Amino acid sequence: MISNLLNGFVEGDVDLYGINPIDPEDFPKVPKFVGVVLQDPEKQLVMPTPADEVSFTLENLGFTVTRESIMNSLKNVGLESRAYSPTEYLSGGEKKRLCIAASIVHKPKLLIFDEPTANLDPWGVSEVINYIKRLKEEGSSVIVIEHKARHFLPLTDKLMVLINGEQKLNLTKDLISSKYEEVVNTLNNLGVDASKPNLTRRNELYTKPVVITANDLWFRYPSSKEYVLKGVSLTLRKGEVGVVVGRNGSGKSTLLKVLSGLYKPDKGSIKVPSLNGINGKVRKRNLVFYVPQEPDYMFIHNTVLKELQSCSNKSFNFDEVPWVKEVLNESPYKLSHGQRRWLSYLIAKLHSPEVVMFDEPTAGLDIRLLKQFVNWVKDFVSEGKTVLIATHDVRVVCDIATNAFIMSEGTLSQVSVEEARDYLEKPVEVIS
């Protein structure tokens, strides 16, 4: 029994540099040899600042802590300038970078990355790919668990596909190199995202009624002198699917929270025609609903059933999402990452808002769940509703965007869908 970590059983043997991680006596030795980057940064970060987080790893493992080692680790992931910023104010992508920095600061022999590209902007993805290249050159072993396999195929020495716990594919580097296109097609057929997405949508001219208008928005957090939003203006119309792309920390999440009424802007105005232009009351009638990056922030009850019942008096159509029937009495926090995300979509829909704002809604989703999300959005806007999505996922841009914006250092520019696609693709193409 794996009593030291999980309530489960295992058959077979594990040998990790002469250590048996299943043995409770050997388990405490594992962290010195292995660095792990979890899929969800919120479940990994515990300290108040990035510098403290990196230092915490070294201290726990008995290594000497120096400012040089801390700053070098943060510099590797582009967080040197945020070393003493509150961790809670980092963007989702910046938190993921911090997890990487804290996991590799002690230079472990084995690095395990669980969905390392989730929540990262294209430049962050490129940095991760480059860093994995460097780790290989330095003699470290790396295991990457990833839905977007296309980013890592050129680096792969061994490729394994698992479906429902069963090994469906096990390939070597030589086979991948010699039959690359065939391997890509096989992966796609198995539901693994292995090829570059094609643009299926273009900017569409909308003349339908305006549902929300933002004019000259400025916003900064109380503990900062720097503005996160700088004169942002934006208009959304009925039936649109707008996407906001931009680097980690550029202000995308903050913009969505301000538009949703969670934060009050320091300057500027937000007008919702259904509220006759009254500012600061956007949420009072659930006209605008915000779905955060971390689905766990949505849950307030101890069972899935209570979560759904608290949203609406309407009966829920379980045929839409059959798996929900099986987990009605489960805690939302016990669901898989994909199920928790999907539950957050259902909660948003049951509130019947006119506008839903999604913050990185596809992070960590496999291709099957991604397609389900795309269909969810299409069905939602077909009812005359509106969606705004902050994302780094080029697949979202290609499949459902009708309008696009680029966020850069607190400013917002409207661009074509093609420009948004190219913006997300080019940094990664240069590397891979």
What the block records as the tokens of 30 is 């594992």
Label residue 149 by pLDDT band (50, 70, 90). confident
* Per-residue pLDDT, 4: 60
Contact, 79 vs 87, CB < 8 A? no
Residue 35 has pLDDT above 60, yes or no: yes
C-alpha count within 13 angstroms, C-beta hemisphere, residue 76: 23
Residue 430 has pLDDT above 50, yes or no: no
Proportion of the chain above pLDDT 70, given as a percent: 91
* Per-residue pLDDT, 42: 84
Residue 407 has pLDDT above 70, yes or no: yes
* Per-residue pLDDT, 201: 65
* Per-residue pLDDT, 282: 45
Residue 283 has pLDDT above 50, yes or no: no
What the block records as the tokens of 181 is 């296109």
Q: Could you give all domains of the chain from N- to C-terminal order, each with its CATH number?
A: 27-146 (3.40.50.300), 210-287+353-431 (3.40.50.300)
Average pLDDT of span 390-418: 94
* Per-residue pLDDT, 278: 44
Residue 203 has pLDDT above 80, yes or no: no
Average pLDDT of span 347-375: 88
**φ, ψ for residue 66 (rounded to 5)?**
-125, 155
Contact, 406 vs 413, CB < 8 A? yes
Proportion of the chain above pLDDT 90, given as a percent: 42
* Per-residue pLDDT, 369: 83
* Per-residue pLDDT, 1: 46
Label residue 256 by pLDDT band (50, 70, 90). very high
Higher local confidence (pLDDT), 172 or 200: 172
* Per-residue pLDDT, 163: 87
Exposure string for 311-345, b = 16+ CB within 10 A, e = fewer:
beeeebeeeebeebeebeeeebeebebbbbbbbbb
Contact, 334 vs 304, CB < 8 A? no
Report the C-alpha gap between 110 and 130 in whole angstroms.
17
Residue 298 has pLDDT above 80, yes or no: yes
Residue in the structure block whose two tokens are 């050997």: 26
The mean pLDDT value of the chain amounts to 86
* Per-residue pLDDT, 284: 46
- Helix orientation angle between 122-137 and 417-431, rounded to the nearest 10 degrees: 10
Residue at 234: amino acid letter: L
Higher local confidence (pLDDT), 323 or 392: 392
Higher local confidence (pLDDT), 26 or 206: 26
Per-residue pLDDT tens digits for 263-282: 999 999 998 876 544 444 44
3-state secondary structure the chain: CCCCCCCCCCCCCCCECCECCCCCCCHHHHHHHEEEECCCHHHCCCCCCHHHHHHHHHHHCCCCCCHHHHHHHHHHCCCHHHCCCCHHHCCHHHHHHHHHHHHHCCCCCEEEEECCCCCCCHHHHHHHHHHHHHHHHCCCEEEEECCEHHHCHHHCCEEEEEECCEEEEEEEHHHHHHCHHHHHHHHHHCCCECCCCCCCCCCCCCCCCEEEEEEEEEECCCCCCCCCEEEEEEEEECCCEEEEEECCCCCHHHHHHHHCCCCCCCEEEEECHHHCCCCCCCCCCCCEEEECCCHHHHCCCCCHHHHHHHHCCCCCCCCCCHHHHHHCCCCHHHCCHHHHHHHHHHHHHHCCCCEEEEECCCCCCCHHHHHHHHHHHHHHHHCCCEEEEECCCHHHHHHHCCEEEEEECCEEEEECHHHHHHHHHHHHHHHC
Indicate the pairing of strand 241-246 with strand 403-408. parallel
Average pLDDT of span 231-252: 93
Write the burial class of residue 304 (CB in 10 Å: 0-12 exposed, 13-18 middle, 19+ buried).
buried
Handedness of CA 419, 206, 249, 393 (dihedral sign): negative
Higher local confidence (pLDDT), 63 or 118: 63
Report the C-alpha gap between 106 and 108 in whole angstroms.
6
Per-residue pLDDT tens digits for 85-125: 999 888 777 888 899 899 989 989 999 999 888 778 888 88
Integer CA distances (angstroms), 76 to 100, 237, 248, 260, 325, in order: 9, 42, 15, 34, 45
Average pLDDT of span 363-376: 85
Residue 53 has pLDDT above 50, yes or no: yes
Report the C-alpha gap between 338 and 327 in whole angstroms.
13
